[in-house]
Amino acid sequence: MIDYKSINTPVLQCTDMKHSLNTNGNTISILRGLNISLLPAKVCAIVGPSGCGKSTFLFLAGLLDRPESGEVVLRGKTMTHASDRERTQARNNFIGFIFQFHFLLPEFNVTENVILPMLKQRKLSITEMKSKAQNLLTDVGLGDKADRPAHQLSGGEQQRVAIARALANSPSLILADEPTGNLDLKNSDRIFNILQRISRDKGHAILIATHNAELAQKCDYILHMQDGVFI
């Protein structure tokens, strides 16, 4: 087993990240100089009131858009000025996303949903993909539901499929935006415990935007976002 505690290169570093949005001709400053450095095998919560910029931050950290200014460094490589192609590749290979709404393909079975990111990456044979999907599904407690259509699963189970899908390409970084926002207490706890365990066992760095204070307390770090900065 790798000792992730001995690895000191941050998975994600953001420096002085600024971003604004245009609405109806008005420019609103959303992020006003965010800094973060996240090591492997660490779980970090981002908390703050609705509308403070948590989702915007995860979106930019996930290379889905470019910040207006500042740096995003992924696994030691500056991504801010990388080409679109490089950024897409980095996103597919190194980042997994989990959202409040799972965005599974309802008519596809659970295994097929988990395999989708692997198909994009094109590194494994179909047999290897299926076997990896089965392992991931077992990890999230759904080993026996692999052949079920996604829409037949409960909300909590669907979110666990979404976790397995986020892990499909063994990402270094997992970005989770209100991953338990749609779930009851018992399922929220279960999802959170799974995230914590996989981070510890496999070294994923995890950023979780949440307004669940109890859940945030269990993370390795808590960053409070207010008026576009971490306080």
Summarize as ranges the residues that interact with Mg ion (CB under 5 A): 54-55
Count of chain residues binding ligand ADP (CB under 6 A): 11
- The verdict on 223 binding ligand ADP (CB under 6 A) reads no
Q: Which letter, b or e, does each residue of 101-126 get, where b requires 16 or more Cβ atoms within 10 Å of its Cβ?
A: ebebeeeebbbbbbbbbbeeeeebee
- The verdict on 111 binding ligand ADP (CB under 6 A) reads no
SS3 205: strand
Query: Which is closer to ligand ADP, CB of 39 or CB of 60?
Result: 60
Among 10, 11, 44, 55, binds ligand ADP (CB under 6 A): 55
Query: Which is closer to ligand ADP, CB of 53 or CB of 62?
Result: 53
Query: Which is closer to ligand ADP, CB of 23 or CB of 83?
Result: 23
Residue 30: contacted member of Mg ion, ligand ADP, none (CB under 5 to 8 Å, by partner type): ligand ADP
Among 6, 8, 9, 23, binds ligand ADP (CB under 6 A): 23
Stretch that binds ligand ADP, among 1-9, 49-57, 77-85, 164-172 (CB under 6 A): 49-57
**Backbone angles phi and psi of 145, in degrees to 5:** -115, 15
Residue 231 DSSP class: -
User: Minimal distance in Å, beta carbon 25 to ligand ADP?
Assistant: 12
Name the packing angle between helices 110-121 and 84-94 (round to 10°): 140
- The verdict on 52 binding ligand ADP (CB under 6 A) reads yes
CB atoms within 10 A of CB 136: 25
Indicate left, alpha or beta for 41 from its phi (over 0: left) and psi (-120 to 50: alpha): left
- The verdict on 62 binding ligand ADP (CB under 6 A) reads no
- The verdict on 44 binding ligand ADP (CB under 6 A) reads no
User: Taking a C-beta distance cutoff of 8 angstroms, is the pair 182, 20 a contact?
Assistant: no
Task: Please return the burial class of 216, using the count of CB atoms within 10 Å of its CB with bins 0-12, 13-18 and 19+.
Answer: buried
User: Taking a C-beta distance cutoff of 8 angstroms, is the pair 156, 190 a contact?
Assistant: yes
- The verdict on 56 binding ligand ADP (CB under 6 A) reads yes
- The verdict on 24 binding ligand ADP (CB under 6 A) reads no
Q: Which residues contact ligand ADP by CB under 6 A?
A: 21, 23, 30, 48, 50-56
